[in-house]
Amino acid sequence: MTAEEGIRQLLVELGQDVAREGIVDTPARVVKAMKEMTSGYGEDPAAILSRQFDSCGYDDLVVVRGIRFSSLCEHHLLPFTGTAAVAYLPKDKVVGLSKLPRLVECFSKRLQLQEKMTREIAEAIEEHLEPHGVGVYVEAKHQCMACRGVRQTDADMVTTTVLGAMRECRGLKDEFLSAVHAGQY
């Protein structure tokens, strides 16, 4: 059975007339959308972070915040959307500003759990950039909780991962979280 046939069968199970004008092309559209929304499997975090520059002695936090993303919950295949903030404490190298949003995009375009995605982003930076420390903060609204089940449309979820010096030094973690929330209140 092809993916399109599977979607067509799902529509039949939901009581839909798959020959109806508005639905006849839906299986192809769903397959195309799912491929786009899971395109992160084709991205390589090592390649994203491969272009590095000398830090020129910069040894304070680098923080990129307000990184918008959308992902699919692996439990229900429903979207969750939000923002991420990514920080690292350079050792010898830094990366270009666009690389951190690209890394978030890489992991968000996979079937995900928010907790797992947050950790994967942090671990990729730790592995490929080898900074003194890493912090990742993700805040998202989950449609699997908003449009079904408990129907909590205003609830959001916050996850954080801190590694290296940011885990070991409370002051660095506090500085990271302060930078994430600066100007929001």
- How do residues 90-124 score in pLDDT, each as one tens digit? 999 999 999 999 999 999 999 999 999 999 999 99
What pLDDT score does 87 carry?
97
CB atoms within 10 A of CB 57: 7
Rg value, the chain, Cα: 20
Is 112 annotated as catalytic? no
**Residue among 172, 38, 2 at smallest CA distance from 117:** 38
The span from the CA of 69 to the CA of 105, in Å, is 6
Catalytic residue among 4, 76, 126, 130: 76
Per-residue confidence band for 52, with pLDDT thresholds at 50, 70 and 90: very high
What pLDDT score does 183 carry?
67
Pairing assessment for the beta strands 93-95 and 79-89 based on DSSP bridges = unpaired
How large is the average pLDDT for residues 61-74? 97
Global confidence as pTM: 0.94
Is 147 annotated as catalytic? no
The span from the CA of 140 to the CA of 89, in Å, is 25
Is 114 annotated as catalytic? yes
Per-residue confidence band for 184, with pLDDT thresholds at 50, 70 and 90: low
Q: Are 83 and 68 in contact (CB under 8 A)?
A: yes
Is 181 annotated as catalytic? no
Give percent above pLDDT 70 in the chain: 98
